[in-house]
Structure 1
């Protein structure tokens, strides 16, 4: 688990693994402009020596993530996993039951590896209809409740509704919106760090 003194000693680094899709992979922008890189900078600015690993891949589905996750857990031994997947499954109209099953297994694998999981909620466009979008979005809160996870209710809250902050596809936030994503993630991450003894 995270060490209370990690901020004071470089050799006590903890690892945050961001495991997601194009929303976290700096899609169509410089990697340094993406929210994950900006989160790393925020941690440094706060004097925290946590290392952020971006394990996100554009186009990733929950099935693809489940296949990749064990190697990422073994290779990086994260203390915290920010799990941000499901959007591409939803855009393909895949069954919510299968999406949930894959997310659940990734949560279990992360917890078995000793990591605290922060689950990032995702919404898909309303044109998919409430009979699909409702259960799709609800699964994130349900999984958080079932596994005692800290939940980011919606990663793009206040961003997705504003066309000026979204790329032309209407799905991905612009570079200008990336600091706003950090502002959404930051207090959630802080709450987990405090729970683990981080000042």
Structure 2
């Protein structure tokens, strides 16, 4: 009787061990999530979705052996920091990301929103990302000089100030090497062309890659 009991107990233990191992394996294989909260620059405005920098990013992840990352692009054309701030809690709850790219502020600047308001909204977004246990990456922007030197300088200063304050990653200027190059901007002078999408990825990748690896 004792022998039968011992055998049964061994079988139960082995079954439990196998089940635990399978659960652990499934957890290890579960993809990490990269959440992008941006505006038209990340929402493929004026270009085919498979040509946009976010699509190129997915291919880059595979090429770098980072297949365990999935990309959730929650970018919306015309989005402001206020809209992003209101949407962010739901996006964090739904997607449970490990990394969040915050690519917002350009529309605020083009509409002349007060720099203090923009800074406050972005600061709250960074705080919410951190509270959710994720790593934020802030993408900096600049606006045309016709808005006046005082305003353009104050706007551009928002991003490095927040990056230093919160010790977070920063892409200094998303359109660096793009905005002033022939054929890289659409006719509106605001949105990059399809040819520029690889340059957008090249600008963000050096700051993004360390967070993924």
TM-score by length of 2: 0.85
In structure 2, the CA distance between the partners of 1:162 and 1:10, relative to structure 1 (3 Å rule), is: farther
Distance in 1, matches of 2:124 and 2:49, equals: 29
1:169 pairs with 2:193: no
Distance in 2, matches of 1:51 and 1:168, equals: 33
1:97 pairs with 2:124: no
Deviation at 1:11, TM superposition (A): 2.0
What's the secondary structure of 1:51's corresponding residue? strand
Contact 1:163–1:170 (Cα < 8 Å) also in 2: no
Alignment gaps of 5+ in structure 2: 1-26
Distance in 2, matches of 1:84 and 1:10, equals: 29
Q: RMSD over aligned Cα, in angstroms?
A: 1.2
Q: 1:12 — aligned with what? A: 30
Distance in 2, matches of 1:34 and 1:162, equals: 18
Q: 2:57 — aligned with what? A: 39
- More deviation in 156-165 or 54-63? 156-165
Contact 2:115–2:155 (Cα < 8 Å) also in 1: yes
Distance in 1, matches of 2:91 and 2:211, equals: 21
- Determine which of 26, 29, 45 is the counterpart of 2:44: 26
Q: Structure 1, residues 131-182: CA drift from partner, whole Å, max 9, x if none? A: 0000101110000000010100011100011142000010100011001111
Distance in 2, matches of 1:129 and 1:38, equals: 35
Contact 1:117–1:149 (Cα < 8 Å) also in 2: yes
Say which structure is richer in helix.
2
Aligned residues: 186
Q: 2:21 — aligned with what? A: none
- Determine which of 106, 114, 132 is the counterpart of 1:87: 106
Distance in 2, matches of 1:163 and 1:18, equals: 28
Counterparts of residues 44-193 of structure 1 (less than 5 Å)? 44-49=62-67, 50-193=69-212
Higher-Rg structure is 2
Q: Which has the higher contact order (CA 8 A, sep 6+)?
A: 1
Distance in 2, matches of 1:115 and 1:161, equals: 34
Deviation at 1:10, TM superposition (A): 7.4
Deviation at 1:37, TM superposition (A): 1.1
Distance in 1, matches of 2:180 and 2:211, equals: 28
TM-score by length of 1: 0.90
Alignment gaps of 5+ in structure 1: 1-8
Q: 1:3 — aligned with what? A: none
